[in-house]
Amino acid sequence: MKVWLVLRSLLFYVGYSLSMIFQSTSATIIGLFSRQAAYAFCLAWCRFGVWWARVCCGIRFDVTGIENIPPGACVVLAKHESAWETLFLQSLFSPSTTVLKRELLSIPFFGWALRLLNPIAINRGEPAQALKTVLRQGGLRLADGRRIIIFPEGTRSRPGEQLPYNVGGAMLACRTGVPVIPVCLNSGDCWPRGTLIKQPGTIHVVIGAPMDSTGTSAKVLNTLAQGWIEAERTRLRSTT
């Protein structure tokens, strides 16, 4: 059985890598003429990656609470357990901007196209400067009507692991007055950190009710979001 999982995972990575080269090169060329068309092309590739994981590895998904997504700008604080949600959430919350580590932009092919999504790239080694970047650039993106996707743990966590939540996302919401949308998922059960082998199963994505950022502090808002996400993750672990 494990051999079969390895073969399926290898097939996924072969197709994923080849499609990444094609997508990145094509999107870069398209971007010379229309950034909007290039953005749409990148989103299509994100959807392809999610579909390809289902075809090759049997990774399905279901979404609860999609009615909680507001029509306008918001800050999305999401659990981060795998690369899967970096693909899925881009299209789910489109038009969106993701906060990510700047090293990703230097990856050949992938980084080229990633720039077309207009991300907020930060240096995690300089937290004070990173916070300023998130607040400054995030404010501009929100004013433009985009949804900002932030993984407050800063890195992927393992199922059952609780990492500290950075307050930057909540601070951005409080300063701009937009709501926080908490998102919980269990992608680490199918796409575990530290191994190339993917496990078949269903990734459950739960979108919480909007949290009002007005009249509260960033610390309190961050604690509320973390509490909801981790409680929901515990529930998913006990029911799936």
Residue matched to tokens 């960033």: 218
Average pLDDT estimate for 197-220 = 97
- Rounded (10°) angle between helices 168-176 and 127-143: 40
What's the structural domain count of the chain?
1
Question: Each residue of 72-90: pLDDT tens digit?
Answer: 999 999 999 999 999 999 9
Flag whether 27 is in a domain: no
Average pLDDT, the chain: 93
Flag whether 214 is in a domain: yes
Fill in the amino acid letter for 75: V
Flag whether 23 is in a domain: no
Distance between CA atoms of 120 and 137, rounded to whole angstroms? 7
Print the domain residue range for 71: 59-239
Q: How high is the pLDDT of residue 1?
A: 59
Flag whether 31 is in a domain: no
Contacts of range 20-27, beta carbons closer than 8 Å, 24 or more positions apart: 20/45, 20/109, 20/110, 21/109, 23/48, 23/113, 24/109, 24/110, 24/112, 24/113, 25/109, 25/112, 27/112, 27/113, 27/116
The domain that holds 147 is classified in CATH as 3.40.1130.10
Flag whether 68 is in a domain: yes
